[in-house]
Amino acid sequence: MENLEERIEQANTLEALEKVRIELFGKKGALAAEFAKLKDVPGPEKKAFAEGLNKNKAKLQAVYDERYELLKKEEIERLLKAEAIDVSLYNNLNEKGALHPVMATMDKIIDYFVALNFSIEDGPKVEDDFHNFEALNLPKNHPARDMQDTFFFKDGAVLRTHTSPVQIRTMLAQKPPIRMIAPGAVFRKDYDITHTPMFHQIEGLVVGEVGEVSFANLKSVMSDFLHYMFGDVEIRFRPSFFPFTEPSAEVDISCIFCEGEGCRVCSHTGWLEVLGCGIVDENVFKAVNYKNVSGYAFGLGIERFAMLLHKIPDLRMLFEGDTRLLEQFR
């Protein structure tokens, strides 16, 4: 019996153990041989003999089970080990692309205004003089037209110099009240370190009944929007001039690079100019035949926001499809 237990203990693999199992527990195994002897045992001893056999069998079975569990565990362990991989070899596979930072910034801006129940509107890139200038209180020869170097076509059309013509189109197509934004590409004939012939703007327009929409409302929404975009910054409104709004203001945020101390980015003023806004000029309403209304409008350059938000040093690199820039946003 001792000897049988030893044979189980000595099996080092599951195969060896299986062999031992057959030798011990099989039909022609050692235990079967022992049980065969039972028929030769005289009557009165039979019971005790059988009990002894069963006891031994149970004991052997327990030893076997324990051995099996152990070897099985070792076997799985070995299999798992064989499948080991250095996972860190697969770091940063770079399988995903990136949204363009300008487009991602545009998305972020749109999210804000859509959440405030603004509609999104658009218009053509090739515009006529009426929508791009005339209706926006920019009559021919107005000095402010100089501010916008325009691409002209042979038939008198222009590439829109701002998203503002979408205001005009929307007002002509709809009735007040209006709450809209118009994101999109605009074009100016200017190409240097800080200018590209195409860039993106977002325009906003709110029109309500006369006396309903005020400069104080504009101040409120612009401040909230800039906090949403730039976090805890100081905001400054400066009176300014745009032909299509009056009163007009330019809005600055405290420089996010130097926190207002003064640095190269803010030209040592401590402030960064980020958008323009104002109360819609009555001449604009006249051009679209709106009466007894009031409204505010605002506009901003998306590249400027993207560059400030992500500290992108050069405007022109945004238009070169340079994957060294883009992959940073993956």
Partner 1 sequence: MIVTRTWLNNFIDLSEVSDETLFKSLNAIGLEVDNIRTYTIPDKIIVGKIVSVEKHPDADKLNVCQIDIGSDVRQIVCGAANIVDAQYVAVATIGAKLGEDFEIKHAKLRGVESEGMVCSASELGLPDIGDGILILDDSIGELIIGKELNEYKKLADTVIEIELTANRGDCLSVHGVARDLSAVLNLPITDFDYESQSLEKLGLARVSKLETNGVIDASVQYVMANMEEIHTSLLFALRLAFIDKLKLDALENILSYITHTTGVILRAYDVSDIDLENEEKVVINLSNNEGIINVFINEKPCSQIGIKQIEESKANENSSRVLFEASYIQPTQLVDIVSEHKLETDELYYNTSRGSEPQLSFSIDYLTYLFESYNKCKLYNGVISLDNEREDKIITIGTDEISKLIGHEIDKSEIIRILTSLGFTVQNSNEENFGVTVPEFRHDMENIQDITEEIVRIFGIDNIDAKPLQFKEAQRTNSTTHKYYAKKELRSRAVAAGFDENISFAFSDKKLLEKYNFPFIKEELDIINPITTDLNTLRTTISINLLQAAQRNLNYSQRSTALFEIGTIFDENREEKELLSLIYSGQKESEYVGNSGKPKNIDFDSFVRKLSAILGNFELRTSTRDNALLHPYQSADIIVNNQICGYLTKLHPIVRDDFDLDETFIAEIEFDALIPKHIDAKAISKFQGVYKDLSLVVNKTIPYSQISTTIKSLALPLLNKCYPIDVYEDEQLGEEKSLTLRLFIQALDKTLDDNDIDSTVNRIIETLHTEYGATLR
Instruction: Characterize the bridge pairing of strands 178-187 and 119-120.
Output: parallel
Give the binding-site size for partner 1 (rule: CB under 8 A): 92
Distance CA 205, CA 111 (A): 16
Residue 172 or 210: which CB sits closer to partner 1?
210
> Taking CB under 8 A as the criterion, which residues in 54-93 touch partner 1?
89-90, 93
- 256 binding partner 1? (CB under 8 A): no
Which part of the chain contacts partner 1 (CB under 8 A), choosing from 26-34, 35-43, 70-78, 242-250?
242-250
Residue 71 or 103: which CB sits closer to partner 1?
103
Q: How far is the CB of 300 from partner 1 (least distance, A)?
A: 17
Q: How far is the CB of 112 from partner 1 (least distance, A)?
A: 14
Q: Can you tell me which residue has the tokens 């080990």?
A: 81
- 238 binding partner 1? (CB under 8 A): yes
Q: How far is the CB of 174 from partner 1 (least distance, A)?
A: 10
Residue 31 or 303: which CB sits closer to partner 1?
303
Name the token pair of 220.
């409120």
Residues composing the chain = 330
* Cβ atoms 256, 226 nearer than 8 A: no
Residue 61 or 223: which CB sits closer to partner 1?
223
Work out which of 6, 114, 130, 194 binds partner 1, going by CB under 8 A: 114
> Taking CB under 8 A as the criterion, which residues in 261-320 touch partner 1?
267, 269, 279, 281-282, 294, 318-320
Q: How far is the CB of 78 from partner 1 (least distance, A)?
A: 24
- 151 binding partner 1? (CB under 8 A): yes
Distance CA 288, CA 197 (A): 29
Name the token pair of 278.
């104002």
Distance CA 176, CA 205 (A): 11
C-alpha distance from residue 48 to each of 52, 55, 59, 133, 277 (Å): 6, 11, 17, 116, 106
- 16 binding partner 1? (CB under 8 A): no
DSSP per position, 72-99: HHHHHHHHHHHT---GGGGS----S---
Residue 17 or 105: which CB sits closer to partner 1?
105
Cis-peptide, bond into residue 42, ω within 30° of zero: no
- 221 binding partner 1? (CB under 8 A): yes
Distance CA 280, CA 285 (A): 8
- 258 binding partner 1? (CB under 8 A): no
